[in-house]
């Protein structure tokens, strides 16, 4: 079961980072490369504890849908979303926001299990783990950009 961890410092308060990370519209901006868009559940605004959202996106050249549920929320410090339905066997994505100086250390932990047993493990080694790491990093770095842009206007 691969676990991807990524940390980035954001020059914005934890409350701003937390809310941007669970905002549906911001999510679509940070995943523009994969054309993610909400097609079910909460399709706009802020996701909160118990909410589900179904995303449609193109990953690895294949259009797919994935439904995730917010299973933990402690504003503005952390929230967790877990896959309810989708291409993975399972995943848990924990987002943490730690006050650091005048900004926030944002930590992403993405713990997933591929489908298809040994074939899935082979896919992880060959390409999937790198693909998912790049996806998590790109999304976090774009969220940083948006948060810092907003913070300069405060």
pLDDT by residue (tens digit) across 13-26? 999 999 999 999 99
CATH number (domain holding residue 24): 3.30.530.20
- Specify the pLDDT at position 116: 82
For residue 134, the enclosing domain spans 3-152
- For residues 6-18, one letter each, b for 16 or more C-beta atoms within 10 angstroms of the residue's C-beta and e for the rest, the string is eeeebebbbebbb
Q: For the chain, what is the domain count?
A: 1
pLDDT by residue (tens digit) across 46-101? 999 999 999 999 999 999 999 999 999 999 999 999 999 999 999 999 999 999 99
pLDDT at 122 over 60: yes
pTM: 0.93
């Amino acid at each position: 079961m691969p676990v991807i961890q990524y940390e980035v410092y954001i020059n914005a308060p934890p409350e701003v980072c937390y809310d941007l990370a669970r905002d549906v519209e911001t999510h679509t901006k940070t995943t523009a490369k994969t054309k993610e868009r909400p097609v079910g559940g909460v399709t706009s605004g802020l996701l909160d504890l118990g909410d589900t959202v179904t995303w449609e996106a193109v990953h690895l050249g294949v259009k797919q849908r994935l439904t995730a549920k917010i299973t933990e929320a402690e504003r503005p410090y952390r929230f967790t979303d877990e896959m309810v339905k989708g291409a993975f066997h399972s995943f848990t994505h924990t987002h943490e926001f730690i006050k650091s100086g005048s900004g926030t250390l944002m930590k992403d932990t993405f713990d997933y299990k591929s489908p298809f047993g040994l074939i899935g493990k082979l896919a992880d080694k060959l390409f999937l783990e790198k693909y998912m790491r790049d996806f998590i990093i790109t999304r976090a770095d774009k969220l940083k950009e948006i948060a810092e842009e907003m913070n300069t206007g405060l």
